[in-house]
Structure 1
Amino acid sequence: MEPAEAIGALNHLQRRFLHAGRMLVTGGCVAIIHAAIGNQAANANDALVGLFMFLTGVSLIMLSPVVNQFPRAAQVGAAVADAVLLYFFEPAGRPELA
């Protein structure tokens, strides 16, 4: 693999981590705010799910700068980032999900 290709792949992985992390942090904040001041029917489970989403997003964001130093952590982070991105943005042309 050429060094330029390795840098491009690394940048792609970092961007994927940052994108998924931003989505999780934003979703976690929305869930926590909704549980705290929004609906009266919201309970502690909503806040706990929001906290989990927030912490997972922060972990992905913090992992992105050091992704080349920790390859196994990068593999786990890539699996989480892919799951988040596929959950929120379903790819077109998948009739088995319809």
Structure 2
Amino acid sequence: MERLPLAAAAGRILAEPALAVLAVPPRDCAALDGFALRAADAAGAGPDRPARLPVVAGVLTAGRAPVPPLAPGQAVRIMTGAPLPAGADAVI
């Protein structure tokens, strides 16, 4: 095993797993722009049977103050990096 400064370790293979001491980011965040919703509310949706959910709370962006929890049957527009509101477990 060889010890290297981080800058010199690019392209190398670790001898053991690297573990983070805390979660980064510290909460679930949107990986892409879309609509945050409860996956169960869109279960079974498809081209012939769309899920229609009212969009609430404007647009969630990274750094915006927390919003009220998302109720069943609702969706909210969300941008990349924004924290998912409580109750949401999917972004489409």
TM-score (norm 2): 0.25
Greater CA radius of gyration, 1 or 2?
A: 2
Structure number with the higher strand fraction is 2
